[in-house]
Structure 1
Amino acid sequence: MTMSDTEKEKSAPVDARVPPVAVWQVLEKLKGQDLIDWRVAEVKNRPSVKERNLDMGFPFGWYPVMLSSELEAGVVKPLRYFSTDLAIWRGMDGRVRMLDAYCKHLGAHLGHGGRVSGNLIECPFHAWRYDGEEGVVKEIPYARAIPPQVKRKCTRTWHVEEANRWIWMWYHPQDVAPLWEVVELPEASDPEWTDFEVYEWNVWGSLQNMAENGVDFAHFQFIHGTANMPKAEMRWSDWGRGADVRARMGTPQGEVDGCISFDTVGPGQNWTRFTGISETLLVACLTPVEQDHIHARFCFTQPKAQAEGPMGGLARAMIKDICKQFDQDKVVWDRQRFEPNPIICDGDGPIPQFRRHYSRFYAKPDGGPEGGKVEPLKVAS
């Protein structure tokens, strides 16, 4: 007995993806290299930082700057984050160090042409050698004496840690010491999980606007086309926040129950676990370059048994869809301004509570958190 065509149609899975939403029109013709180029290209003729209300400073916290594998022992590289030129290097002892980039002698950039001398960084111009912990000049090969101005701390040193296969820098405008630790994610060092698959964007907007997206539950339906309005269970702590966002997700095989569980510690460490369609950990590396420029990198890892097995195609499709969602958000972020007094309606999510919480990461002149007294949070690794 064979199934009739009508019976086959009734039993076939229903494609539950919603019709395309507005931002998809911007992205539908971008494929392959064109899409990759669009993700990192500068948005020209955008309004100024002041016009977009983005002149609010940078929130303090730990931020990822580069993959650990990108910096070998004895190598110096230039960086620019937080409107500051930086020089980062790995000493021969394997430790990473970072200083402000410019030599106090005649202003050469230590990250361009500088080299490692033992554990010191050597200026490419006259070989003045700086220590990365004390911020002092330790050696000048041709001089009989080191000037006293550089024998004491003369340049900013930066707190640097390595965790989750990344190098992290601590940013605070008053150079206050770290108030919490980088959270270790077990999947990032688990040999049963894949190496990171990395995707990159430049977002021409505000880190706070991007962070606010996580509690703006209504946008999931209208930007990303979720099958319904997601439901969320929020978590708040002194220095962190998170949520379990549950939604019916549309797939070519019909709707499935999915959960997006995201957590942040400070503004700079963000990770999301996806379950339902395919188990995936996303380490979202978002670091400000300027007040209207965020360097974004998404690092994905999945269980090898899933990614390399029969479900591998579904696992790859999951990553592609997450990147597509970030593309959709970027269309808005690139031209969005910050609204200091937004008009909120029911169904928008806890945006006012988010803003009260996030305000603590903007330092007051005395170096303390803007949002009031907050006890340091220590997270066990």
Structure 2
Amino acid sequence: MTESTFWSSDMSSSLVDFLLNSFKAQQDKTTTLIQITCTVVAIVLLWLLHYVLFKPLNRIRDLCDTGYQDQMRWDRYGKTKRQLANEARRNKKVGDVPPVYPNGWFALCESDDLKAGQVLSIKALDENLAVFRTEDGQVCVLDAYCPHLGAHLGIGGRVVNDCIECPFHGWQFSGHDGKCTSIPYSKGKIPPSAQVKKWPCHEVNGFVFFWYHAEEEKSLEPEWTVPELDVISSGRWQYRGRTEYQVNVHIQEIPENGADVAHLAHLHGPSMLGGSDLTSIDRKKSDGESMPILHHHWQVGWKGPEHGDADWHVAVTTIKHDLRLFGRIPFILMDVEAKQIGPGLVHLTIGTSLGRCVLLQTVTPIAPFTQRVLHRLYASPTVVAPYAKLILWGEAIQFERDVAVWNHKTYIRHPVIVSEDRTISKHRRWFQQFYSENSPRIETIMENRKGSLDW
């Protein structure tokens, strides 16, 4: 064998080894990449499974999030959705509205928001409030401003046993009656006027409520109580999620929706799969046209209390619902009873083929035409989590269609109605009882704000 033949053979062997090693290394990289990809996919699938089966729904929509799709489509100036929403709010005609703050129980927060020893600053019905939970777990609601020099008790205030301590000078006020219990630097007697207003409050069904009444003599003695739902307080039914909205409308418009029977077929008839964009939902346009593939069908009744009823503050809407295929084949049947308890609370009991649920809706005015609306859904153990969340999601889509209308509508005190709208008039007469002589009107509020600072 010649020397050149030897080197040629050696080089060929090295080249083969190099190619084999390169192929093996590439194969190892491919295997590693596949393993990483499979791991990532498995993690995502496990997260989705956990979200669907176990994690409660939490859907939050701000004032600018719902009902401004048309403005976004029409805009030619590059404005943000928030700018367009604020512009729409300024341009909206208020109308001849009733008083802006009715009397009743209103939700300030959810129980989960307030831990033992925690303080919250909350604005509701034009009142600045310090809401806190004592060290032994009791919820208290006081006026926010310290009578000493006006410091805000809810901003930097500290819970000491069952009192709240002012962040400015350390004065302490009892959560039970609002009286000052301690002035740390004073050796004299505490002045009798050293106290803040104590608001009646009630923690029930996962919410913290406070009692508001425009007449001073009735503001400390609630005229009814918020009913406790045993299925929630006992823990038998499971919490499945919440939704939260801010809506640009007078408070009366929201509960009035339950008495507006005629709007359900037109606004809420199209399938929830169509979303909440009012211009894109699939409506049946005339009697001669075929029904959409999926369509909601509603049978609704509204009933107020009889004269002299003990539950004068409760009105009831009954709903029979089914989702129909091609307008003929019904499935997903539900029976709903919605109890409107005062101006700011609704208990919706929902009967389904898998069991029963209850949806709690609270409406709280945080400004004359800004309502904070919360929903919490609880379901019996037989209603599996995915189905319960589907119910809540579907309700959210339907509610957002109402929000898209509310955010732009004006209030008409004497509307043009037909005989089929008579329940609206009945509801308005029933709702009038929640206003009283001194209930705040928008004209008075705007007059009082003329001297306010605006940066």
Q: Same fold (TM over 0.5)?
A: yes
Aligned equivalents of 2:147, 2:92: Cα separation in 1:
30
Residue of structure 1 aligned with 2:103, choices 34, 37, 60: 60
Structure 1 residues 114 and 39 mapped into 2: Cα distance closer, same or farther (>3 Å)? farther
Select the residue among 181, 186, 189 that pairs with 1:143.
186
Write out aligned runs for 1:135-214 (5 A). Answer: 135-146=178-189, 148=191, 150-151=193-194, 154-175=195-216, 176=218, 177-214=221-258
Aligned pair partner of 1:262 in 338, 344, 349: 338
Q: Tell me how far 1:121 sits from its aligned partner.
A: 0.6
Residue 249 (1) aligns with residue 249 (2) = no
* Structure 1 residue identity aligned to 2:317: A
The CA distance in 2 between the partners of 1:189 and 1:357, in whole Å, is 30
Map 1:339-354; keep pairs closer than 5 Å. 339-354=412-427
8 Å contact kept, 1:249–1:258: no
Aligned partners of 1:217 and 1:229 also within 8 Å: no
Instruction: Return the TM-score normalized by structure 1.
Output: 0.79
**Displacement after TM superposition at 1:133 (Å):** 2.9
- Shift of the 78–365 alpha-carbon distance from structure 1 to 2, 3 Å rule, reads closer
- Rg (Cα) greater in structure: 2
Aligned to 1:38: 65
Aligned to 1:287: 364
Q: Kindly state the Cα deviation for residue 220 of structure 1 after the two structures are TM-superposed.
A: 0.7
Higher helix proportion = 2
* Inter-CA distance 290–141: structure 2 relative to 1 (3 Å threshold): same
Q: Which amino acid aligns with 1:274?
A: I
- The residue aligned with 2:313 is 239
Percent sequence identity over matched residues?
27
The normalised TM-score by structure 2 is 0.67
Q: What is the distance in 2 between the residues matched to 1:191 and 1:305?
A: 14
Q: Where does residue 288 of structure 2 map in the other structure?
A: none
Deviation at 1:139, TM superposition (A): 0.9
Match of 1:18 in 2: none
In structure 1, the gaps of 5 or more residues are 1-31, 368-381
Change (3 A) 1:251 1:273: farther
For 1:240-262, what per-residue CA distance to the aligned partner results, in whole angstroms no more than 9, with x for missing partners? 11021224433699423432210
- Quickly say closer, same or farther: Cα 1:169–1:343, change in 2 above 3 A: same
RMSD: 2.8
Whole-Å Cα distance in 1 between the matches of residues 428 and 59 of structure 2? 37
Letter in structure 1 aligned against 2:241: E
Match of 1:296 in 2: 373
Give, in whole Å, the separation in 1 of the partners of 2:303 and 2:321: 15
The residue type paired with residue 357 of structure 1 is W
Q: For residue 340 of structure 1, what is the amino acid of its counterpart?
A: R
2-side partners of 1:360 and 1:123: how far apart?
A: 38
Residues 173/35 of structure 1: CA separation in 2 closer, same or farther (3 Å cut): closer
CA distance in 2 between counterparts of 1:248 and 1:366 reads: 41
- Letter of the 1:71 counterpart: L
Structure 2 equivalent of residue 338 of structure 1: 411
Change (3 A) 1:208 1:70: same
1:131 and 2:174 correspond: yes
Shift of 1:349: 4.8
In the alignment, what sits opposite 2:150?
107
Question: Cα 1:194–1:135, aligned 2, differ >3 Å: closer, same or farther?
Answer: same
Give CA-to-partner distance per residue, 1:77-114, whole Å, 9 cap, x none.
Answer: 11110011110111123211111111112221111100
**Residues 5-20 of structure 1: pairs in structure 2 closer than 5 A:** none
Q: Does the C-alpha gap of structure 1 residues 356 and 224 become closer, same or farther in structure 2, counting only changes over 3 Å?
A: same
Instruction: Give the letter aligned to residue 320 of structure 2.
Output: R
In 2, Cα distance between equivalents of 1:204 and 1:163: 27
Between stretches 229-238 and 45-54, larger displacement belongs to 45-54
What is the alpha-carbon distance in structure 1 between the residues aligned to residue 156 and residue 368 of structure 2? 28
> Aligned to 1:38, what secondary structure does the other structure show?
coil
Shift in alpha-carbon separation, 1:365–1:206, aligned structure 2, 3 A: closer
For structure 2, the residue ranges without an aligned partner over 5 or more in a row are 1-57, 68-80, 270-294, 306-310, 441-455
Structure 1 match to 2:299: 230
Residue equivalent to 1:307: 384
Q: Which is worse superposed, 83-92 or 342-351?
A: 342-351
Report Cα offsets for 1:323-381 as digits up to 9, x if no partner: 001110000111222211111112225011111110000022499xxxxxxxxxxxxxx
The answer as to whether partners of 1:220 and 1:230 remain within 8 angstroms in 2 is no
